[in-house]
Amino acid sequence: MLPYRPTGDRVHTEEVFEVTLRDGTREFIDGADYRQEGPMTTFFRNAEGREVVDCWSTRIASFRTADVLIIRRLEDERLLRPA
């Protein structure tokens, strides 16, 4: 139950980030935004109706920035999961 009705569009709908790490592994993070926090790159899910990472955001994944080779935003559904 929501104590109020959302007034805006959902912030993240189909955005997916592909994170490639130094050891060659790839992680897919969906519905999030990311920020650097000291030595870590952290992905956050924003509260509904919020467009910025703030105190209402939820941390969903963190990676040591030194281990991250590539962060790529995937917008085409065909790129999300290779066949």
pLDDT tens, residue by residue, 2-59: 455 555 544 444 578 999 999 999 999 988 889 999 999 999 988 777 777 878 888 9
Which one is predicted more confidently, 47 or 79? Answer: 47
Q: How high is the pLDDT of residue 5?
A: 53
Q: Following DSSP, what letter does each residue of 19-52 receive, concatenated?
A: EEETTS-EEEEES-EEEEETTEEEEEEPPTT--S
Q: How high is the pLDDT of residue 3?
A: 55
Q: Is the overall model pTM greater than 0.85, yes or no?
A: no
pLDDT tens, residue by residue, 48-77: 777 778 788 889 999 999 999 999 998 765
Q: How high is the pLDDT of residue 1?
A: 47
Domain boundaries of the chain, sorted by first residue: 16-75
Select from 37, 27, 38 the least CA-distant residue to 59: 37
